[in-house]
């Protein structure tokens, strides 16, 4: 079993600044809680497998995958090597102006071969290694983070479509097809960026416009037609579910 190797440095780079890098061969069932650190930590599993737990949600992690720990998450995280096939992993921690953008990554993700910051020369480390690591972090950023940020641009476009065309019969299927995204991935990315599901977001937009029309004295049928509800009864049900009161009760309460 190879002893763990760990290096600390701080080259003072602005955008992506590596702080710590290391590699470790774990023994079976080794339980780890990360130390407190005001930055991002990414682990890369080179071989074997184990589990990563974040806020009581458990993820199985194997070779070729990574898991990310964001600032403030350390107290909610632990990881455990497999009993029969303990993992070997490397890790890097970093700060910088771009570090927060790594939060678009899911807790566990695939890492393209050769993309993780190189640690094979740690035993012969010299001053330039911090700058080599920074270059590797930019490569990782380009391959993993930038494509998801581009997806976020699509999520912003989808949000705008909902705000502009809420009166139409919009569906997740139609939106995912239009933007070339898998329906489940669209739903996951939309909720991650907006904090709401597509359906909830669409309902909230429609309800805001329905409120205005209710105050103007419009009928349920007119509101349904103007706000994209399938019928007056559907509008009545959706409104009651959303506000916990009927449209008439809401209007009476507002008038007081």
Regarding whether 43 and 104 lie in a shared domain, the answer is: yes
Residue 121 forms part of a structural domain: no
Q: What is the predicted pLDDT for the residue at 165? A: 93
Considering the entire predicted model, what is its pTM?
A: 0.61
- Strand ranges inside the chain, DSSP E: 5-8, 17-25, 31-32, 40-47, 49-54, 57-62, 65-69, 77-81, 88-95, 108-110
Q: What is the predicted pLDDT for the residue at 101? A: 86
Regarding whether 97 and 180 lie in a shared domain, the answer is: no
Q: What is the predicted pLDDT for the residue at 3? A: 54
The CA dihedral of 25, 28, 31, 37, to the nearest 10 degrees, is 10
Q: Which of 222, 169, 224, 221 has its CA nearest to residue 199?
A: 169
Range in 39-48, 185-194, 226-235 with the lowest mean pLDDT: 185-194
Round to whole Å and give the CA distance between 210 and 137: 48
Residue 129 forms part of a structural domain: no
Domain boundary among 93, 116, 139: 116
Q: What is the predicted pLDDT for the residue at 116? A: 83
Regarding whether 84 and 180 lie in a shared domain, the answer is: no
Higher pLDDT, 210 or 8: 210
pLDDT for 140 beyond 80: yes
Q: What is the predicted pLDDT for the residue at 1? A: 46
Regarding whether 244 and 153 lie in a shared domain, the answer is: yes
Residue 9 forms part of a structural domain: yes
Residue 132 forms part of a structural domain: no
Condensed to tens digits (0 to 9), the pLDDT of residues 79-136 reads 999 999 999 999 999 999 999 889 888 899 999 888 887 765 655 555 578 888 898 8
Regarding whether 151 and 76 lie in a shared domain, the answer is: no
Regarding whether 249 and 152 lie in a shared domain, the answer is: yes
Regarding whether 180 and 105 lie in a shared domain, the answer is: no
Containing domain of residue 195, as a range?
147-256
Condensed to tens digits (0 to 9), the pLDDT of residues 21-60 reads 888 887 888 889 888 888 999 999 999 999 999 988 999 9
Regarding whether 10 and 52 lie in a shared domain, the answer is: yes
Higher pLDDT, 65 or 113: 65
Residue 136 forms part of a structural domain: no
CB 89 within 8 A of CB 45: yes
The full DSSP string for 25-83 is EPPTT-EE-PPP-SSEEEEEEEESEEEEEETTEEEEEETTEEEEE-TT-GGGEEEEE-S
Domain boundary among 67, 98, 116: 116
- Strand ranges inside 55-191, DSSP E: 57-62, 65-69, 77-81, 88-95, 108-110
CATH of the domain at 46: 2.60.120.10
| Confidence tier at 148 by pLDDT (50, 70, 90) | confident
Higher pLDDT, 49 or 179: 49
Regarding whether 252 and 151 lie in a shared domain, the answer is: yes
Residue 130 forms part of a structural domain: no
CATH of the domain at 236: 1.10.10.60
Regarding whether 26 and 90 lie in a shared domain, the answer is: yes
Residue 33 forms part of a structural domain: yes
Q: What is the total count of domains within the chain?
A: 2
Regarding whether 155 and 112 lie in a shared domain, the answer is: no
Residue 156 forms part of a structural domain: yes
Regarding whether 167 and 80 lie in a shared domain, the answer is: no
């Amino acid at each position: 079993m190879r002893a763990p190797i760990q290096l600390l440095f701080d080259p003072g780079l602005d955008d992506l600044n590596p702080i710590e890098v290391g590699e470790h061969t774990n023994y079976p069932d080794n339980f780890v809680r990360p130390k407190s650190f005001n930055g991002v930590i990414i682990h890369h599993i080179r071989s074997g497998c184990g589990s990563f737990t974040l806020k009581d949600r458990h993820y199985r992690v194997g070779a070729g995958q990574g898991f990310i720990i964001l600032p403030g998450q350390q107290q909610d995280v632990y990881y455990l090597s497999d009993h029969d096939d303990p993992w070997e992993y490397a890790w890097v921690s970093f700060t910088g102006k771009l570090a927060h953008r790594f939060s678009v990554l899911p807790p566990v993700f695939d890492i393209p071969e050769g993309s993780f910051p190189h640690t094979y020369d740690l035993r012969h480390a010299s001053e330039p290694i911090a700058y080599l690591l920074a270059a590797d972090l930019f490569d990782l950023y380009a391959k993993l983070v930038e494509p998801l940020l581009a997806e976020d641009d699509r999520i912003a476009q989808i949000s705008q479509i909902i705000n502009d065309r809420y009166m139409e019969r919009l569906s997740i299927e139609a939106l995912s097809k239009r933007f070339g995204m898998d329906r489940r991935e669209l739903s996951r990315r939309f909720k991650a960026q907006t904090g709401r599901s597509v359906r909830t977001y669409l309902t909230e937009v429609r309800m805001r416009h329905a409120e205005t029309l209710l105050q103007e004295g419009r009928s349920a049928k007119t509101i349904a037609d103007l706000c994209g509800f399938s019928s007056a009864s559907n509008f009545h049900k959706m409104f009651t579910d959303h506000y916990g009161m009927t449209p008439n009760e809401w209007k009476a309460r507002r008038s007081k």
